[in-house]
Structure 1
Amino acid sequence: MADAQCACGALRLTFSEPPQLTALCHCFACQRRTGAPFSANAFYSIDCVEISGPSTEFIRIADSGRKVRMHFCPACGSTVYWKADASPSWIGVAVGSFAYPAFAAPTMSVFEQSKHEWVRLDETIKSFQGLPVG
């Protein structure tokens, strides 16, 4: 299993289990966070992640009104992981921070209400206009 890290390597995450979910997100907050038309995200049980190195936390308020705590490297600025108050037992990790082309493909795509029209996804990926319900 690959480790995740920032661009300079100062902030690292190691995992004892595979991700529980891999998803794409097209929300405007993720577009701004990544500087890309969508984000690729892996979600892990918080108990299987070991974090080493410094991080700076930026707290944003989600549309739900709950906090999302983004952690980025204070040296290079890479956003590596985040924790959402709505899901305290999970940690989200930027798939790009693994720099591992064989990483598990996403199984879902969320917030497609703000997806760029030219983005085309494989038909096996479940699509949701917002967050999945239930």
Structure 2
Amino acid sequence: MGVSKSTFRVTGETRAHAIMGSSQLKTARHFCPTCGSLLFGTPEVIPDMVSIYVGSLDDPSVFQPECSLFTCNRYHWDTSGSQLPGYETMSD
């Protein structure tokens, strides 16, 4: 779930680990230092956006998907989100 970095706020401590994304730019994955759950990501390719892992939300029903991204990485058996517009990479 992508949100604007300017409206995103974190309370509490997180840890981060940077990896190389498919764009060949780094993306930092932020996680809970206690349990290790992934919380959000900050990709260099879109510096004004934060990607929130929906499973980390207290109420995941607030997430209403509008499209599927990185469908080129989808397994052939994964039909989740197939009714949504799909993009093989990051959408404009």
Please give the range of the TM-score, normalised by the shorter of the 2 chains.
0.7 to 0.9
| Matching residue within 60, 76, 88 for 1:129 | 88
Indicate if the aligned counterparts of 2:39 and 2:56 stay in contact, CA closer than 8 A: yes
Bigger strand share: 1
Higher relative contact order (CA 8 A, sep 6+): 1
Shift of 1:123: 5.2
The answer to whether 1:73 aligns with 2:40 is: no
Q: What are the superposed Cα offsets for residues 66-90 of structure 1, whole Å, 9 maximum, x if unpaired?
A: 1101110111001101111111111
Amino acid at match of 1:63: S
Q: Note closer, same or farther for the CA distance 1:88–1:131 as it changes in structure 2 (3 Å cut).
A: closer
Give TM-score scaled by structure 2 length.
Answer: 0.84
Shift of 1:52: 1.1
Q: What are the superposed Cα offsets for residues 42-71 of structure 1, whole Å, 9 maximum, x if unpaired?
A: 111111122111111100011221110111
- Secondary structure, in 3 states, of the residue corresponding to 2:77? coil
| Matching residue within 34, 59, 75 for 1:100 | 59
- Secondary structure, in 3 states, of the residue corresponding to 1:63? coil
Distance (Å, rounded) in 2 between the aligned partners of 1:116 and 1:123: 12
How many aligned positions are there?
A: 92
Give the equivalent residue in structure 1 for 2:17: 58
Amino acid at match of 2:9: E
Alpha-carbon RMSD across the aligned residues, in angstroms, is 1.8
Question: Percent identity between the aligned chains?
Answer: 22
Structure 1: runs of 5 or more not aligned = 1-41
Distance (Å, rounded) in 2 between the aligned partners of 1:122 and 1:84: 22
Amino acid at match of 1:97: S
Structure 2: runs of 5 or more not aligned = none
Indicate if the aligned counterparts of 1:107 and 1:124 stay in contact, CA closer than 8 A: no
The answer to whether 1:90 aligns with 2:49 is: yes
Q: Note closer, same or farther for the CA distance 1:120–1:74 as it changes in structure 2 (3 Å cut).
A: same
